[in-house]
Structure 1
Amino acid sequence: MRLTILGGGGFRVPLVYRALLDDPAHAVSEVVLHDSDPRRVAVIAEVLTRLARGHPAPVPVRVENRLDDALAGAGFVFSAIRVGGTAGRIRDERIPLSEGVLGQETVGAGGVLYGLRTVPVALHIAERIAALAPGAWVINFTNPAGTVTEAMSQVLGDRVIGICDSPVGLVRRAARAAGVDPAAFDQTGRVGYDYVGLNHLGWLRSLTLDGTELLPGLLADDAALGSFEEGRLFGADWLRTLGVLPNEYLHYYYFRRETLGSVRDTTETRGEFLDQQQGGFFERAASAGGPKGAYELWERTRLEREETYMAHSREASGGWQRDSHDLEGGGYDRVALALMHAIVGDSGTRLILNVRNGTTVPQLAPDAIVETVCEVTSQGAGPLPCAPLSEDQLGLMLQVKAVERATVEAAVYKDRDAALRALALHPLVDSPAVAARILERAAGEA
């Protein structure tokens, strides 16, 4: 089976390839890389060469410069593109901050701006996949993942599935804090969980081991909550008030004043940090003296990237450093591999994915993309029934889903009113006048 990676020059592509090399099932027989930047994809190909060296069953890799050539014959397509590059991300962050609202690539005004730029490209990709590889399954990691998956599903239906590593990371960290042996995740049916929401906006509402509910005990234990990332991020008092464990990105909503205060006057946004870090990596790796030098440089840069993840939110909640357990979780590379295995093997594996809602949340349209627990077979990913949402959860989901759908509408029809509606209705944008100024500046700086 051929796996095509769009955004094949992306910094985290080696994580996917490493997971494929470690895959005992050898589910993928060839990897095809496609990227709009030939220098970046050449460097990443060097890193993959180093990873494969000496491996008993290396997976062949080739680079295709034309999108159509990369897609033809693919069994799976992994989409992890960044339209506008890190320069676009910097604008998405800085323009909202200049108006006194949060700038972040997937949340708030920054996420809307990124979606407006990305959706047209994602739709073109979806149309080419439908024409050249209609039987392929598309795994979308392109941010903002919920919005982009929703747009692509208009062309590909249920054959596009969005993934994110935040939910599985939350589940695994919470389970470890509750005393669950990590090996239990490999034993069918032992660990259960109820997670529902949208991408970067969801809640873990139940966690069981062999049918015994663990979440109330975990929420009552200050030491256990203080042992993992989300517990420290939100604080024991607020988590007990909620009665659930929120996805880490909900920190932007629940603690918007504190997070905005930590980032508003920053000398360097996350986009600016990554622009310098990754730009420096590709510059040095191009002259690193071959695959070994490129790989070692990549590994050092990757660790620094992971250690600084969501630094402003951590500063707003006490300024603690991520430890080894915070860096664990599942990784989107392993989520993608588990999804491919489940489809190929018709296994019925349960994974948290971004899929069409159906009747999971009755208040949302059936074709709206939600992030929830799914059962995956050869027919794709089907969302499982879940308990009713609380009013606060549902209210936030409905408002942000309206923003996502307006973003898609604006991008597809070049509709300024829809774009303004998407920005102004977002819970983290506090004024239609501010939304209009952000939209005008973004159009002027594009």
Structure 2
Amino acid sequence: MKPVVLCIVGAGGSYTPEIVEGVLERQGLTVAQISLTDTDPDRLAVMAGLTRRMIAAKGARIAVRESADLAAAVAGADFVVTQIRVGGMAARQIDETIPLRYGVIGQETTGPGGMFKALRTIPVMIDIARTIAAIAPNAFILNYTNPSGVVTEAVLNHTDARLLGLCSSIPLLQHRLRRQLAEAFGAVEIASVGLNHLGFIHQITAGGEDVTRAAIAHLNERYGGGDGMFASALKIAPLLGAIPVEKYGDLYFHRRAEYEAMALAERTRAQAVMDIEAEVLAEAADPAVQAKPPALTRRGGEGYSGVTFDTLDAILNDRGARIVMSALNNGAVIGLPDNVAVETVCHVDASGARTLPVGEIPLAYRGLVQAVKAHETLTVQAAVTRSRDVALQALLAHPLVGDIDVAEPMLDDLLAAHGLDYQ
């Protein structure tokens, strides 16, 4: 296996040490060079310095290159991790607060907030992907830029780039369930269907037998009844016949409680993350720090590195691994168009990712998934065409909005706040 050249776009972000740690800890992986690029030179310098110290502390021989020029950074890359945030946390603060004024959940990856993150991000990610496709046409883009599924759909339909949409939410849930079900059911296979941040564990099999209902009952008996996100997902699982992805499922199935909690909170999540990221950067800039900054444990993103390197390993070694990620549907999920992104189990080998057949989405949540997917596809169209009417259609289509008297003024407020000119 030839040594790998890995590029991180948005390397000034707080998750970069997770990727570097993964490079240093992954057995059987030889990385010759890590290339870092970011539009913020100060953050780039901090993370480049930490990266070099982490490598030196492990006694590894990996070259580190940093550049503000994207084309120079991606030249020769085999894999490019994209983790950009257009507008930074200030834009996230707008996305989280304006919807609340209209009685709507404000969240950065779904609803109005997720839509506006996509509207800002899609044009930039398309430009980045086109540059990568031109400079390093054989490179795979491993995308974590949110909203990941929407970005995946936009890039794959509007560029020639080889992009895979990654997220740790469902893979971490699968890992937890395998561990929790092992004693009662032995080794289990766990399938999922849905969209990024709207996924459902819809089938659990053991010894070739479908044990989904029994597994859900067992999990509720052992782990239900609490107040955590997992307990909340388990509470509705018997009704749905599936386990929704933690945290994000509550935005739909407990939307009133979620809205009230956000409206009454003294601080937004954006404000909390701003403080955490300031700590991460301060720790990363300390010459004495030679490992992942301790403050990063409060940032979230558990499993980020694992999914990245499982995918990288599957491609490099042509493993045909089964990994949940976002990819174009191409007939895998009946009832959704071929050219939209779905998040489901994919076959991952040297050629990339291919969705595996799923069939129909169970009726209990089919309409919800189809409605959110319509919203996402309209959002991609709005970002590409800069059409206000299409943007309004997208906002109106989202199940968390669904009211033209709310959608229209909220759209105009958000467009103005972000300085977006849609005609």
5+ residue gaps, structure 1, are 185-189, 310-326
TM-score (norm 1): 0.87
Is 1:11 matched with 2:14? yes
Show structure 1 runs of 4+ deviating over 4 A.
227-230
User: Are 2:327 and 2:342, in contact at CA under 8 Å, matched by a contact in 1?
Assistant: yes
* Whole-angstrom CA distance in 1 between matches of 2:352 and 2:284: 39
Moved more, 94-103 or 171-180: 171-180
Q: 1:305 aligns with which of 299, 303, 306?
A: 299
Shift of 1:379: 1.3
Give the whole-Å Cα distance in 2 for the aligned partners of 1:423 and 1:126.
Answer: 26
Question: Where in structure 2 are there 5+ consecutive unaligned residues?
Answer: 419-423
Is the partner of 2:343 in helix, strand or coil? strand
Summarize the Cα distance change of 1:40–1:416 in structure 2 as closer, same or farther, 3 Å threshold. same
Distance in 2, matches of 1:83 and 1:28, equals: 29
Aligned equivalent of 1:358: 330
The 3 A distance-change label for structure 1 pair 391 and 212 is closer
Which has the higher mean CA deviation after the structures are superposed, 272-281 or 158-167? Answer: 272-281
Q: Deviations over 1:319-353 (max 9, x none)?
A: xxxxxxxx6xxx12111111111111111111001
Cα offsets for 1:409-432 (capped at 9, x unmatched) = 111111001111111110001421
Sequence identity (%):
36
Q: 1:51 aligns with which of 46, 51, 54?
A: 54
- How far 1:361 sits from its partner (Å)? 1.4
Q: For 2:183 and 2:122, how far apart are their aligned partners in 1?
A: 40
In structure 2, what residue type is equivalent to 1:371?
E
* Range moving further from structure 2, 24-33 or 92-101: 24-33
1:199 to 183, 196, 201: 196
Aligned residue type for 1:239: A
User: Per-residue displacement from partner, 1:353-395 (whole Å, max 9, x unpaired)?
Assistant: 1001011112211111100001111111111112421123221
Query: CA RMSD, aligned part only?
Result: 2.1
How far apart in 2 are the matches of 1:391 and 1:64?
49
* Alignment match, 1:75: 78
Are 1:378 and 2:372 matched, yes or no?
no
Query: Deviation digits for residues 105-160 of structure 1, max 9, x if unmatched?
Result: 00111100111110110111111112111111111110000111111102445721
Query: TM-score normalized by structure 2?
Result: 0.92
Q: Distance in 1 between matches of 2:240 and 2:27?
A: 41
Q: 1:33-432, aligned counterparts within 5 Å? A: 33-157=36-160, 159-179=162-182, 191-221=188-218, 222-226=220-224, 230-236=229-235, 238-248=236-246, 249-283=248-282, 285-286=284-285, 288=286, 290=287, 292-293=288-289, 295=290, 299-306=293-300, 331-432=303-404
- Once residues 7 and 197 of structure 1 are traced to their aligned partners in structure 2, the CA distance between those partners, rounded to angstroms, is 27
Kindly provide the amino acid, as one letter, of the partner of residue 264 in structure 2. D
Q: For residues 157 and 392 of structure 2, what CA distance do their matches in structure 1 show?
A: 22
Letter aligned with residue 343 of structure 2? E
Confirm whether residue 29 of structure 1 aligns to residue 23 of structure 2.
no
Deviations 1:293-328 (A, max 9, x none): 3x56x632112233xx8xxxxxxxxxxxxxxxxx6x
CA separation of 1:209 and 1:18: change in aligned 2, threshold 3 A: farther
- Cα separation, 2, equivalents of 1:15 and 1:210: 36
Task: Give the partner amino acid of 2:294.
Answer: R
CA distance in 1 between partners of 2:50 and 2:352 (Å): 32
* 8 A Cα contact 2:14 2:281, kept in partner: no
Q: CA deviation at 1:54?
A: 3.4
